[in-house]
Amino acid sequence: MPIFKSNTLDHYIVKVLGLFAGLFLLALFWLLKTAHWQGWSIGVALVIVALFLLMAITRFKGRILSAFDRALLHIDALKVEDYNQYAKSEFSRGVTAQFHTELTLLSDKMQSHKSQYDQHAMLLYQLIDQLDTPMMVFNQKQKLTYANTAFAVLYGQPWQMFRMASPKFLGLKQVDGGWQLPGKEQQWHVSQSEFIDSGERHQLLVFANIGSAIRASQLNAWQQIIRVMSHEIRNSLTPVSSLAESLGDKLQSSREKQALALISERCFHLQDFVNRYSSLSQQLNLHLQAINISLFAERLTGLFATNRLDFSIAAETLWVDATFIEQVFINLIKNAFEAEAQNVDIQFTQFKKKSVINIIDDGYGFTNIDNLFVPLFTTKPQGQGIGLTFCRNIIEQHGGTIEMQNNPGAQKGMIATLILPPAPTERHSPSY
């Protein structure tokens, strides 16, 4: 019937019960009139019954709607992931009680799923935190909500110092839908992805240092060239060397013997030259330990007894392979004195638990600093172009970095900066 149509349940209840109450009052009026009640008596009786019916309708409506109101409160709690609030049914049995029971079961199931999700998310964040690759998470308002420990590699401080910072504040620039990090000494490739967490869309940025990848690619190209050259050179040198030795045994002239001996010597030298280059990118077997910097400085002083070395030591130990790191220092110091340096100043400091070493000389520096670490490149008449590449290979396999630049504070000289990671949590007695 059109009279019973309504857009809301409460209006529907009022209409239906109001109609029946009206019919009841009409029937009561007819009965009282038939019983010959006085007019005022009928009026009073109808008013009293009407009030009673109104109270009954209001109470009935309240109890019906109360079941839905409690269910709505329960649903509101579910929306904000509060699974500890439960709505008690207005009726202990029947469809309303069953409805609330199902809501409670749904709440428990969602609580279980959320607990599993939280555990998985916690494990994922713990895994991310252990990675050496910097990662950042921005919420849908483009605010930093999480980053891993490697964040400090980019900004030198824990990510908590930049909580809720914007990408612009962090120096990130969005170009063609992607992110870039200009202004950093290292080259970083930024990859991005999106995920949903707690009903919000988040963006995950992963930073990959492509500088080392580019260097590895370049070094691999050099290795391939060297392997081809080595094969051809060895195939040519072996018969030449054997022939020279054979002829040297047969000839009587000392001058001719000297010439053939020189040929054999140069063949051996060229073989050794090729072998050294072929080992440039090999993985080193590092034996890391804590070495005492003061004792290490005394050892370097003894190795360069005829040269002037000045040390400034503001740290106690280095966590390195003593043999390989000594070779790095020997190469760098030797390069400085070969560049006509009169003095080499070596500074040992610590910054954010990392070891920082500056090797400063007053030599003539480099005119083509972009090619310092290019294999085979050298400005020395007798150089082989392997020393600095070998040094960088050692430092990077320690997990550190090496940078070289002409001294900006002087008219000549070089500054080599070595940054090495800190020792692990376990402490060892310094050696050397």
Give pLDDT tens digits for 241-282.
777 777 777 766 777 777 777 777 767 766 766 665 555 556
Are 99 and 144 members of one domain? Answer: no
Are 101 and 139 members of one domain? Answer: no
Residue of 339, 311, 328, 346 lying closest to 391 (CA atoms): 328
Residues of the chain by 3-state class (helix, strand, coil), percent to 5: 50, 20, 30
Residues in CB range of 323: below 8 A, 6 or more apart: 287
Are 166 and 217 members of one domain? Answer: yes
CATH number, position 395: 3.30.565.10
Retrieve residue 104's tokens: 């409670």
Q: Residue 196's pLDDT band (boundaries 50, 70, 90)?
A: confident
d(CA 305, CA 86): 83
- Judge whether 255 lies within some domain: no
What local confidence, expressed as pLDDT, does residue 31 receive? Answer: 87
Decide which of 11 and 296 is more confident.
296
CATH number, position 187: 3.30.450.20
Give the other-Cβ count within 10 Å of 159's Cβ.
Answer: 23
Are 84 and 183 members of one domain? Answer: no
What local confidence, expressed as pLDDT, does residue 18 receive? Answer: 83
Tell me the average pLDDT across 109-129.
79
What would the pLDDT profile of 326-339 be if each residue is shown by its tens digit? 988 998 999 889 88
Are 95 and 139 members of one domain? Answer: no
Are 159 and 211 members of one domain? Answer: yes
- Judge whether 275 lies within some domain: no
When the pLDDT of each residue in the chain is averaged and rounded to a whole number, the result is: 79
Are 300 and 373 members of one domain? Answer: yes
What local confidence, expressed as pLDDT, does residue 358 receive? Answer: 94
d(CA 96, CA 88): 10
Are 92 and 163 members of one domain? Answer: no
Are 101 and 163 members of one domain? Answer: no
- Judge whether 246 lies within some domain: no
What would the pLDDT profile of 348-407 be if each residue is shown by its tens digit? 999 878 899 999 998 887 766 655 655 544 454 444 445 687 788 888 888 888 888 887
Domains of the chain: total: 3
Tell me the average pLDDT across 80-85.
74
Q: Residue 230's pLDDT band (boundaries 50, 70, 90)?
A: low
Are 405 and 298 members of one domain? Answer: yes
Domain that holds residue 53: 2-108
What local confidence, expressed as pLDDT, does residue 427 receive? Answer: 45
- Judge whether 344 lies within some domain: yes
At 403, which helix (H) or strand (E)? strand 401-406
- Judge whether 257 lies within some domain: no
- Judge whether 123 lies within some domain: no
- Judge whether 279 lies within some domain: no
Decide which of 141 and 66 is more confident.
141
Among 72-81, 287-296, 410-419, which range has the highest average pLDDT? 287-296
Are 146 and 91 members of one domain? Answer: no
What local confidence, expressed as pLDDT, does residue 62 receive? Answer: 81
Decide which of 40 and 184 is more confident.
40
Retrieve residue 106's tokens: 């749904």
Region of poorest pLDDT, from 56-60, 76-80, 204-208: 76-80
Percentage with pLDDT > 70 across the chain: 79
Pair type for strands 135-138 and 200-209: antiparallel
What local confidence, expressed as pLDDT, does residue 104 receive? Answer: 82
Decide: 89 and 206 in contact? Cβ < 8 Å: no
Residue ending a domain, among 237, 253, 269, is: 237
- Judge whether 273 lies within some domain: no
In this predicted structure, the answer to whether residue 199 has a pLDDT above a threshold of 50 is yes
Helix (H, G, I), strand (E, B) or coil at 61: helix
Q: What is the per-residue DSSP string for 170-219?
A: TT-EEETTEEE-TT-SS-EEEEEEEEEETTEEEEEEEEEEHHHHHHHHHH
